[in-house]
Amino acid sequence: MDSTVATERALDAAERLFYQRGVQAVGMDDIRTASGLSLKRLYQLFPAKERLVEAYLERRDVRWRQRLAEYVEQVDQHGHPERPAAAEDRVLAVFDWLGQWFAEPDFNGCAWINSYGELGATSEPIARQGRLHKAAFKDYLVELVERAGLPSSLGDHVFLLAEGAMVTAAITRSADPAAQAAQAARLLIAACGKG
C-alpha cells in the first residue's frame, strides 16, 4: 500500500476516534486497529501521536471550512422565498449550517476546542492548530460581513456568537444555540442599518 493511501487510512481512523472519544483516550494501538495498518507502518507515517493529532486537525480544518463555504455560497442561488438573497443572508447562513452540524448524531463539539482543552497547555503544535483554525474561521466571517457592506468589526461579534454556540451546543447536546446565535446576529445586523 502506498504512503498516500496508508496516510488517509490512518487519518480516517484518527479523525473518527479522536473526535468521538478524545485525543488522550485514544492510543496509537487503537488507531492501528481501526486503520488496519501495522503499528510499525503507523509510526513510519506519524513518528509521534502529537504529529498524528496535528495532521488530523489540519485535514479536518480544510474539510470543515470547505463544507461551510459551500453551504453559505448556496444562499446566492436560493435566497429566501419572500425576497431575493441579500448579502447579509450569507452571514446568517453560517448559523443555519452550524445548526445542521450541531444536529448531526455524531456531533461532539469543536474538534479544535476539544483538542486544545486536552493538549493545548502542553503541546504547541496542537495549540497552533487551534489558533490557525479559529483565525481562518474568523477571517471568513469578517469577509462575509464586509461583502454584506457591514462594518468589519461586526465580524468579530459574529465570530464570538458562532464560537459560543459551538461550545454551548456541545455541552447541552442541543442544536438550539445556533438559532439563538442567529437571532443575536440578526439584531446586530439590524443595529448596523441592514436587514
Whether residue 159 contacts residue 138, with contact meaning beta carbons closer than 8 Å, is answered with yes
Residue 85's pLDDT is 61
Taking 3-state DSSP, the helix, strand and coil percentages for the chain, each rounded to the nearest 5, stand at 75, 0, 20
CATH match for 56-191 among 3.40.50.150, 1.10.275.10, 1.10.357.10, 3.40.50.450:
1.10.357.10
Lowest mean pLDDT among 13-22, 37-46, 85-94, 101-110: 85-94
The residue that leads in pLDDT, 142 or 120, is: 142
Q: Report whether pLDDT(51) > 60.
A: yes
Confidence of residue 84 (pLDDT cuts 50, 70, 90): low
Q: Report whether pLDDT(1) > 80.
A: no
Q: What is the mean pLDDT of residues 124-138?
A: 97
CA distance 109 to 101: 9
Q: What is the pLDDT of residues 158-192, one digit of tens each?
A: 999 999 999 999 999 999 999 999 999 999 999 98
Domain ranges of the chain: 1-47, 56-191
Q: What is the mean pLDDT of the chain?
A: 93
Q: Which of 142, 146, 143 is nearest to 156 (CA)?
A: 142
CATH architecture, range 1-47: Orthogonal Bundle (1.10)
Confidence of residue 120 (pLDDT cuts 50, 70, 90): confident
Residue 79's pLDDT is 54
Q: Which of 158, 136, 134, 135 is nearest to 146 (CA)?
A: 158
Residue 15's pLDDT is 97
Q: Which residues contact 128 (CB under 8 A, 6 or more apart)?
A: none
Q: What is the mean pLDDT of residues 36-41?
A: 96
Q: Report whether pLDDT(73) > 60.
A: yes
Q: State pTM to two decimals.
A: 0.92
Residue 78's pLDDT is 59
Residue 121's pLDDT is 86
